[in-house]
Chain A
Amino acid sequence: VIRAATVAVIAIPAVPALAGCGSDKPSPPNPDDQLRSQVALEEQALINRYSSAIAAFPNVANTLTAIRDQHVEHLKAMGAPPINQGETAIEGSKSSANELASLAAAERKASKARALSCEAAGDQELRRTLSLISCSELMHAIELAAKS
């Protein structure tokens, strides 16, 4: 970007797998693992919502697919694989503009939730990742609001 000394380069670290995954002995949950699990659940819910919207509104599928793919990256960063849970019905009366506005509101809410999780996290790398996800979801909210 601009070079003088060093402009920070963002490295997304691998985060540990969710507590209990692949282990016979359940380890006692720690707050950061619970945080990762909660964020993963919310990211999966957003992915499902986008899948439904993509099926219902092919005219905005390109925009929605790109954003859904970014939520898949968020989910992976929480140590959870995406699960294809299928699509749920969208209100028949909804227009694509309404759906974009609704998704923009959901993204804004998610961005705020991620910021709160970042504040609460103990692990430094988890904090950094949650801050970046919060920024990403803010980007989604702004992009969707502009297109709605």
Chain B
Amino acid sequence: VSDTLAEALDAEYAATYAYGLIGSHLSSAQQPQARTDLDAHRQLRDELRAKLSASGVTPAPPAPAYQPTTPVTNARSAKALAVQVELALAGSWSDVTTQTDDAQRIWAIKNAQACTRRAMSWGASSQAFPGP
């Protein structure tokens, strides 16, 4: 039951790390959006850690560093990474909907949709089944 939560936590760790990298390549006009999104992922990371702890599972710590699969060298590649991160998370949160707990399922759908909105705000194109 906690596997999907642990995987979502890993994806949120990666997102939190990625937004630090993304923000460093954006213009000052785009920084507030990146900061807002980073804060959202920090909150989700903390909520996931709390839920795992509450279910008796010790949350894994984040990796020391996370490597983007494509280099981030400018604002364009930074925004592309933000899209990829958010779409991957829409998938991770959709995986969490497989949980049997009703409240957790509703929470997961809401978070999958929030990731989708953020992906679109960074320039994602529509997909039949959002994912990286």
A and B part of one assembly:
yes
Known: A2-B14, A8-B11. A135 touches B112 (CB 8 A): yes
A113 at the interface (CB under 8 A from B): no
Shortest CB-to-CB span from B58 to chain A, Å, is 15
A110 at the interface (CB under 8 A from B): no
Per-position 1/0 for A71-111, Cβ under 8 A of B: 00110010000000000000000000000000000000001
Determine if A2 and B95 form an interchain contact, defined as CB atoms under 8 angstroms apart.
no
Question: Helix, strand, loop or mixed for chain B's interface?
Answer: helix
> What CA separation (Å) do A143 and B127 show in the bound complex?
11
Binds B, one of A34-42, A47-55, A124-132: A124-132
> What CA separation (Å) do A93 and B45 show in the bound complex?
50
Shortest CB-to-CB span from A64 to chain B, Å, is 11
How many residue pairs between the two chains, A and B, have CB atoms under 8 Å in the bound complex?
142
Determine if B11 and A138 form an interchain contact, defined as CB atoms under 8 angstroms apart.
no
Determine if B109 and A118 form an interchain contact, defined as CB atoms under 8 angstroms apart.
yes
Interfacial chain B residues near A135, Cβ < 8 Å = 90, 94, 112-113, 115-116, 130
Contacting residue for B91 out of A5, A66, A111, A132, CB 8 A: A132
| Contact size range, B | 35 or more
Known: A1-B69, A5-B63, A135-B116. A119 touches B94 (CB 8 A): no
| Contact size range, A | 35 or more
Determine if B94 and A1 form an interchain contact, defined as CB atoms under 8 angstroms apart.
no
Query: Which among A66, A118, A143 has the greatest number of chain B C-beta atoms within 10 A?
Result: A118
> What CA separation (Å) do A115 and B105 show in the bound complex?
10
Known: A4-B65, A10-B130; 12 extra A-B contacts, CB below 8 A, are A1-B18, A1-B68, A4-B14, A4-B67, A5-B10, A10-B131, A70-B126, A118-B105, A130-B97, A132-B90, A132-B94, A142-B120
17 CB-based A-B contacts, threshold 8 Å: A1-B18, A1-B88, A2-B17, A2-B84, A8-B91, A8-B92, A9-B91, A77-B129, A127-B97, A130-B97, A131-B94, A131-B109, A136-B126, A136-B128, A136-B129, A139-B119, A139-B120
Q: Which A positions have Cβ atoms within 8 angstroms of B?
A: 1-10, 12, 66-67, 69-70, 73-74, 77, 111, 115, 118-119, 124-125, 127-136, 138-140, 142-143
List 9 tightest A-B contacts by C-beta distance, closest first: A4-B63, A10-B131, A73-B128, A131-B94, A124-B98, A70-B128, A10-B91, A2-B14, A139-B126
